Amino acid sequence: MDLMAMLNESADYIRSRIGDEKIDLAIVLGSGLGDMADEIEDAVVIDYHDIPHFPVSTVPGHKGCLVVGRLEGHGVMCMQGRFHYYEGYSMSEVVYPVRTMKVMGIGSLFLTNAAGCVNKSWKPGDLMIIEDHIKLIADSPLRGANPEALGPRFFDMTRAYDRTLIGIAEKEAEKLGIDIRKGVYMLFTGPAFETPAEVRFARAAGADAVGMSTVPEAIAASHMGMHTLGISCLTNMAAGILDQPLNHEEVLETGERVKKDFSALVRSIVRSWPVFF
Ligand code: HPA
């Protein structure tokens, strides 16, 4: 089946569940941050299993549903659980939900994730606005025939992370007294955490954080002309910085510890989210 026909079927199904609710932005909740979806009012919860052509999440700590409703005065569609390359999905499957959102008419995207901290002057629990990213590994979600209806074959990535949204995020963090960081996120495929040598490489390349998500979605969103904001919760110092092994529990524990700040920040940013045309 043709990609656009599949996306339209997925979008039609979601519309059949949510009615005429106007959605202003889509939010993707990362590792350990999924509870924020519980704060959405008048929520319609749609299991990924029920959406035609949607992939299904397999990671502990990642739920698999769309939560559609209102947050801070805006109509939001929230992904509680996302898809990762390491789960075995192709890059185009990883970005399928974001494409569905665009087909539904949603013009902006708020991506969140948990990431390892590469910048030695920062600490676990810090929040980082993604200014730019590095993707040296894995194929592009746009590899293959270009779906012209979504965007052009060759497209610009200099504004992949929207400057207006970055400015809003900085301002809202300041109002909340959160000492927010700004930096470069580098994609690794996982599921192994990076080696210390890979982390040194990432730092030398200009990365401040490493992680296993977000970049494919940001590329697909950029292709479709969506306005994108990304925020990472730096849950741990990346491998080799401290003299201790990494584990997924640490990622979840730090996510838990900073959840209050993080969700307060997400809410404030959503409250100030501009209307894009
Ligand atoms: N590396 C990659 N992904 C991550 C990390 C990390 O150290 N922490 C949380 N997600």
Residue 16's pLDDT is 96
The string of pLDDT tens digits covering residues 55-110 is 876 666 556 899 999 999 999 999 998 899 999 999 999 999 999 999 999 999 99
- Mean pLDDT in residue range 199-218: 98
Query: Is residue 176 exposed (0-12), middle (13-18) or buried (19+ Cβ within 10 Å)?
Result: middle
CA of 219 to the centre of ligand 1 (A): 20
CA of 154 to the centre of ligand 1 (A): 30
Distance CA 270, CA 21 (A): 17
Residue 255's pLDDT is 85
Residue 100's pLDDT is 97
| DSSP string for 85-146 | GGGT--HHHHTHHHHHHHHTT--EEEEEEEEEE--TTS-TT-EEEEEEEE--SS--TT-SS-
Does residue 238 have its Cβ closer than 6 Å to ligand 1? yes
CA of 226 to the centre of ligand 1 (A): 26
Does residue 212 have its Cβ closer than 6 Å to ligand 1? yes
Residue 84's pLDDT is 92
The ligand 1 atom nearest the CA atom of 239: 7
Residue 71's pLDDT is 95
Residue 57's pLDDT is 61
Pocket residue to mutate for ligand 1, from 82, 189, 251, most atoms within 8 A of Cβ: 251
Pocket residue to mutate for ligand 1, from 210, 231, 241, 257, most atoms within 8 A of Cβ: 210
- In this model, does residue 266 exceed pLDDT 60? yes
Q: Domains, the chain, ranges and CATH? A: 3-272 (3.40.50.1580)
CA of 157 to the centre of ligand 1 (A): 24
The string of pLDDT tens digits covering residues 104-139 is 999 999 999 999 999 999 999 999 999 999 999 999
pLDDT, mean over the chain: 93
Residue 160's pLDDT is 97
Residue 62's pLDDT is 55
H helix runs in the chain, sequence order: 3-18, 91-94, 96-103, 163-175, 196-205, 215-223, 248-271
- The number of CA neighbours under 13 Å toward the Cβ of 20 is 0
Does residue 116 have its Cβ closer than 6 Å to ligand 1? yes
Query: Is residue 243 exposed (0-12), middle (13-18) or buried (19+ Cβ within 10 Å)?
Result: exposed
Residue 244's pLDDT is 87
Catalytic residue IDs? 31, 62, 84, 86-87, 114, 212-213, 236, 248
- Mean pLDDT in residue range 27-44: 86
Residue 164's pLDDT is 96
Residue 61's pLDDT is 53
Classified as helix, coil or strand, 21 is: coil
Helices H / strands E in the chain, number of each: 7, 9
Does residue 118 have its Cβ closer than 6 Å to ligand 1? no
N residues, the chain: 277
Share of the chain above pLDDT 90, in %: 81
Residue 210's pLDDT is 98
